[in-house]
Amino acid sequence: MIHQCAVIAYGFRYYYMPGLKHILSTFTLIPHRHRCSYLPSPSPSLVSLSSSFHLPNPDNLSRFLTGNCPFFKMERSWSGSGVNKNKAMVEHLQHYGVITSKKVSEVMETIDRACFVPDGTPPYVDSPMAIGYNATISAPHMHATCLQLLEENLKPGMHALDIGSGTGYLTACFALMVGPQGRAVGVEHIPELVVSSIQNIEKSAAAPLLKEGSLSVHVGDGRKGWPEFAPYDAIHVGAAAPEIPQALIDQLKPGGRMVIPVGNIFQDLKVVDKNQDGSLSIWSETSVRYVPLTSRDAQLRGW
């Protein structure tokens, strides 16, 4: 059953589009079927856009969808299997200049987003989607942006940490990039999301890496990082911190890079480079809207 609601578009970048920036926007999602590229059996999902917004999670009632971006309508423009639709999503991100890296497009084509969204949720629409527990899977353009910012720190053999790993989508992408000699670690504080993210990864092209052990997902408070596999070449934080947690800075390798949204209502996606002498170079990539990096209780209460 689909419940009507509106959500804050978390995991989202504000695009500079005169007239469209910060516009309240709503759309309708009509059920259809898609196929995860790694699973033989199709699962039901949604798609197609028009004029009011439906989501499957009743716990996300009464939130507002904010912002807008040029990709909302892209789902309408292709047809075919889930594999082709995932590829078409990546091609649209390339077309709009969001993805410029060949490696990132290969990885996003290989890891089918349909394996990671809840049943009944449209996998290829460029928007964040509710995943329960007041959390969202970030929009494809945000995943692409973060992968590109971290690309040089996700070479084979490197160590990557994904804080607030949610559905496991980015952790799976990281694992593919660092390969079996590397290490991709997800940390998520909602145990149910850790369980479902592992099931998602098992359906995806990253399943062998999970089995071999170079990819793992853990229940924990991401503000403390995950010291076991530190130091990390790449750290991604998928929730907005009021300030950059010291533990994450400590677990970043010299030469390493962290991408982290910082702020409360107004948030910037910060890129933190740790220099060889241990000093930090920090710059803002773009304005964003993410769920808070907070305690489990605060999140479940709705902050």
Catalytic residue numbers read 138
| In the complex, least distance from residue 256 CB atom to ligand SAH, rounded to whole angstroms | 19
Q: Do the beta carbons of residue 251 and residue 231 sit within 8 Å?
A: yes
The site for ligand SAH, by CB under 6 A, has a size of 27
> Quick one: CA torsion of 188, 194, 200, 202, rounded to 10 degrees?
110
85 binds ligand SAH, rule: CB under 6 A = no
170 binds ligand SAH, rule: CB under 6 A = yes
3-state SS, residue 49: coil
What is the distance between the alpha carbons of residues 85 and 112, in angstroms, rounded to a whole number? 9
**Contact partners, residue 213, CB within 8 Å, separation at least 6:** none
Token digits for 244? Answer: 């950059």
Near ligand SAH by CB under 6 A: residue from 223, 270, 274, 289 = 223
Closest CA to 7 of 106, 137, 151: 137
**Closest to ligand SAH by CB, 139 or 272:** 139
Q: What is the DSSP string of 122-182?
A: -SSSSS-EEEETTEEEPPHHHHHHHHHHHGGG--TT-EEEEES-TTSHHHHHHHHHH-TTS
Stretch of 89-97, 130-138, 253-261, 268-276 lying at the interface with ligand SAH (CB under 6 A): 130-138
Q: Do the beta carbons of residue 13 and residue 287 sit within 8 Å?
A: yes
What is the distance between the alpha carbons of residues 142 and 13, in angstroms, rounded to a whole number? 7
Near ligand SAH by CB under 6 A: residue from 158, 187, 194, 269 = 187
| In the complex, least distance from residue 140 CB atom to ligand SAH, rounded to whole angstroms | 10
11 binds ligand SAH, rule: CB under 6 A = yes
Stretch of 30-38, 96-104, 158-166, 177-185 lying at the interface with ligand SAH (CB under 6 A): 158-166
* Cβ atoms within 10 Å of 112's Cβ, excluding its own: 27
3-state SS, residue 81: coil
Contacting ligand SAH within 137-156 (CB under 6 A): 137-138
Stretch of 25-33, 157-165, 203-211, 265-273 lying at the interface with ligand SAH (CB under 6 A): 157-165
**Closest to ligand SAH by CB, 252 or 291:** 291
234 binds ligand SAH, rule: CB under 6 A = no
190 binds ligand SAH, rule: CB under 6 A = yes
238 binds ligand SAH, rule: CB under 6 A = yes
| In the complex, least distance from residue 52 CB atom to ligand SAH, rounded to whole angstroms | 24
3-state SS, residue 188: strand
Q: Do the beta carbons of residue 241 and residue 264 sit within 8 Å?
A: no
Site track for ligand SAH across 273-292, x = CB under 6 A: ------------------x-
Site track for ligand SAH across 191-210, x = CB under 6 A: --x-----------------
| In the complex, least distance from residue 50 CB atom to ligand SAH, rounded to whole angstroms | 26
Q: Do the beta carbons of residue 235 and residue 260 sit within 8 Å?
A: yes
**Residues near ligand SAH (CB under 6 A):** 11, 133, 135-138, 163-167, 169-170, 187-190, 193, 221-223, 238-239, 291, 293-294, 299
